Structure formats: structure tokens, C-alpha cells
């Protein structure tokens, strides 16, 4: 019996009966020889961690575009916080931490530059629409590894696709990530907004602070403990009704005070206009995209509008601005 088989056996002995066991995965689109030291979900986690799209998350906006200061979150730090919260919950519930980590690390791989502003720009221009959760699946199935994809297990892809609020993950591990994503962004976006003096604790109704906690740290602790207490040895992941309602009320306050705040969002219209111009430029000039994207059109017959979205959504904030300057801003000239 090799190391992987021993780990799979330990999962069967130690994890909850509601856990997604590596040995019982629905498998991959393309069959592969199993690794001798890693389970299927550990292997998926590693593939995501070493992917180009994961590395690019460090230069993509979370909420604040090009903030002044080193401590504001970006898309990568958001992803890591989701992973940490989700793993804490999974460990307490004796669910599969490796599956949770793989889903969490991969859930935002398809996000655009400039956060949800970029997503809205592509969704508006592309006749087929654009949604980051669908794009995240496309990244791992098609775009990574020069068009071969990462060939992840069904459970990881299902969790990535269904991490959105309206999603319905098929595994409890996917359900954990879905909750952890909301908890993470409510927690860290409020922390960042307080750092930017856009919101203060006094903007949160006292009833919510009494119920959830008087600091972002206390509220995070409340959410995590409530999920664990209400999901222990249960066939679904859930919060108590009162805490979930309070969390959604806190989320509503964030939308009213931060996500639509004129100070926090003053540059978004520029980012949207820039991405829209880039979209139509590459629709008219697909030959100016990188070779791997041109090949998707010419060799695989992928729709041009989809491939342009692939190209733009894969860009970092800085790279998209650099391409815009290169294409649309006149260059300095002079006699040498």
C-alpha cells in the first residue's frame, strides 16, 4: 500500500460520514494514473496553486482600485482568507480539508482586473454575458496549460462553479467555501473600508453589534462558530436563521456604504470604459492577442467574443492599463 492509499484509508476512518472521500471522487474528464503520495484533491490543490492564473490574482483588485497603502486586500489575499476560514470550519466538522482548500484557492481564478467593475464591463459588452464563477471553471478546464486545462476532479469544479450566493454545491466542502467566501469579503472589506475612513463601527446598528460582535474580528469569530455549531454531524452546512439574517443585513450595509460609495468607486467608471475599449479593439484585431488565445479561435473554433473575454479577464490591473496605453495613448516622439 503506497502513501496515497494509506491517506485515503485514514480519510475513511477519521472523516465524517458526510465528507467527500478522495477515494470516492467522481474523477476527472481525462483519466490519469494516480499520484503515489497525494490524494486526488491534494493534487488538484497543487495544480491550482502552481497555475499562472493563481499567480495573477496578486495584481487584481478586490474592492479598492489602486489603493494608497500596503495593507488593503487584493484578489489573492481574499482567496487566501477564504481558504483559511473554510479550512477551519472543515477541520472542526471532520470534512475533507484538501477538497475545501482546492475549491477555495480556485474559486476566483476567472475574475477580471478591477474586481466586479471589470466583470460588469465584460458582461455588458459580450453578447453571451460574462460571470466570473463560470470563467473560473473555464480557466481550469480550458485555458490553463496552453489550452489543456488542469483536468481537476468533478468535485473541485462543482465547488468552484457554485461558490456564488445562488449556487448549490454538491458537496459539504463546496457549501463551506460558499459560506466562507461571503464571510471573508464582509470581514475584510469592512476592515479595509474602516482603514480608508469610509465606514466606522458607529455606522453599524447597535443591535447588530450586540448580536455579532463589536469588531470585525469578533464578528468573524461569531460567523465561524455559528456554522460549526449548526452543521456538526449534519448533512448540510448552515447558519442559524438569526445569525444568517444578521450577516445579510451587514452585507446590505456594506453595499450601501462601501460597494457603491463614491469615494471607494470613483475610478471604476474609468476602468469600465477602458476594458470596454479594449474589448472592441480585440474583437476587431484578434491577431494582436497572445498566440495561445489566437489558437483558441483558429485551431479550436472557439467564438471570438469568448476568447476576447478570456484574454481580458486573464489580465492583471496593471497589464490591462499598460495595453490600453500602448494601443490608445500617443507615444512621445522626436528627432534622434
Cell of 54: 493563481
pLDDT at residue 335 greater than cutoff 90 = no
pLDDT confidence band for 255 (50 / 70 / 90):
confident
pLDDT above 70 (res 66): no
Placement of cell 448580536 in the chain = 211
Instruction: Give the global pTM.
Output: 0.94
Q: Rounded mean pLDDT of 100-106?
A: 98
The per-residue pLDDT for range 241-250, each reduced to its tens digit, is 999 999 999 9
301 three-state secondary structure: coil
On whether the CB atoms of residues 141 and 298 are closer than 8 A, the answer is: no
Measured torsion, CA atoms of residues 178, 311, 51, 44, in degrees rounded to the nearest 10: 40
Average pLDDT, the chain: 93
Q: What are phi and psi for residue 90, nearest 5 degrees? A: -60, -40
Give the count of alpha carbons within 13 A of 230, CB side only. Answer: 16
Residue 57 has pLDDT above 70, yes or no: yes
Q: Give the separation between CA 231 and CA 178, rounded to whole angstroms.
A: 14
- Where in the chain does DSSP place strands (E)? none
Residue 108 has a pLDDT of 96
Mean per-residue pLDDT for 89-116?
97
Q: What is the pLDDT of residues 268-304, one digit of tens each?
A: 889 999 999 999 999 999 999 999 999 999 999 999 9
**pLDDT at residue 221 is higher than 80:** yes
Task: Reduce the DSSP state of residue 108 to 3 states and report it.
Answer: coil
Indicate if the pLDDT at residue 336 is higher than 60.
Answer: no
Strand pairing partners for 74?
61
What are the pLDDT digits (tens) for 20-55?
999 999 999 999 999 999 999 999 999 999 999 999
**Residues in Cβ contact with 109 at an 8 Å cutoff, skipping those fewer than 6 apart:** 48, 51, 53, 54, 57, 135, 136, 139, 140, 160
Residue 67 clears pLDDT 70, i.e. is over it: no
Separation of alpha carbons 328 and 282, rounded Å: 13
By the 8 A CB rule, do 304 and 296 touch?
no
| Whether 149 contacts 303, CB under 8 Å | no
- Rounded to 5 degrees, what are φ and ψ at 51? -80, 155
Mean pLDDT, residues 83-104 taken together: 98
Amino acid at each position: 500500500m503506497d502513501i496515497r492509499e494509506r491517506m485515503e484509508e485514514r480519510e475513511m476512518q477519521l472523516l465524517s460520514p458526510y465528507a467527500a472521500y478522495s477515494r470516492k471522487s467522481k474523477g476527472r474528464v481525462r483519466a490519469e494514473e494516480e499520484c503515489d503520495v497525494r490524494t486526488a484533491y491534494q493534487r488538484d490543490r497543487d495544480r491550482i496553486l502552481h497555475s499562472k492564473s493563481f499567480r495573477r490574482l496578486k495584481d487584481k483588485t478586490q474592492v479598492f482600485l489602486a489603493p494608497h497603502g500596503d495593507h488593503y486586500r487584493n484578489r489573492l489575499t481574499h482567496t487566501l482568507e477564504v481558504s483559511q476560514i473554510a479550512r477551519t470550519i472543515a477541520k472542526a466538522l471532520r470534512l475533507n480539508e484538501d477538497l475545501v482548500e482546492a475549491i477555495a484557492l480556485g474559486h476566483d481564478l476567472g475574475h477580471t482586473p478591477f474586481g466586479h467593475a471589470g466583470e460588469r464591463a465584460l458582461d455588458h459588452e459580450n453578447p453571451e454575458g460574462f460571470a466570473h464563477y463560470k470563467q473560473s471553471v473555464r480557466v481550469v478546464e480550458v485555458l490553463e496549460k496552453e489550452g489543456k486545462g488542469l483536468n481537476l476532479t468533478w468535485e473541485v469544479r462543482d465547488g468552484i462553479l457554485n461558490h456564488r450566493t445562488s449556487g448549490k454545491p454538491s458537496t459539504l466542502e463546496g457549501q463551506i467555501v460558499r459560506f466562507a467566501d461571503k464571510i471573508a469579503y464582509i470581514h475584510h472589506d469592512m476592515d479595509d473600508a474602516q482603514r480608508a475612513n469610509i465606514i466606522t463601527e458607529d455606522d453599524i446598528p447597535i443591535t447588530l453589534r450586540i448580536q455579532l460582535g463589536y469588531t470585525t474580528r469578533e464578528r468573524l469569530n461569531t460567523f465561524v462558530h455559528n456554522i460549526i455549531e449548526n452543521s456538526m454531524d449534519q448533512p448540510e452546512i448552515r447558519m442559524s436563521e438569526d445569525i444568517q439574517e444578521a450577516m445579510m443585513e451587514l452585507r446590505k450595509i456594506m453595499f450601501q456604504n462601501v460597494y457603491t460609495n463614491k469615494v471607494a468607486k470613483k475610478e471604476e467608471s474609468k476602468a469600465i470604459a477602458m476594458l470596454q475599449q479594449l474589448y472592441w479593439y480585440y474583437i476587431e484585431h484578434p491577431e494582436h492577442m497572445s498566440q495561445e488565445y489566437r489558437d483558441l479561435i483558429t485551431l479550436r473554433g472557439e467564438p471570438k467574443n469568448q476568447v476576447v473575454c478570456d484574454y481580458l479577464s486573464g489580465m492583471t490591473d496593471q497589464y490591462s492599463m499598460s495595453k490600453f496605453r500602448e494601443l490608445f495613448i500617443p507615444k512621445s516622439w522626436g528627432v534622434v
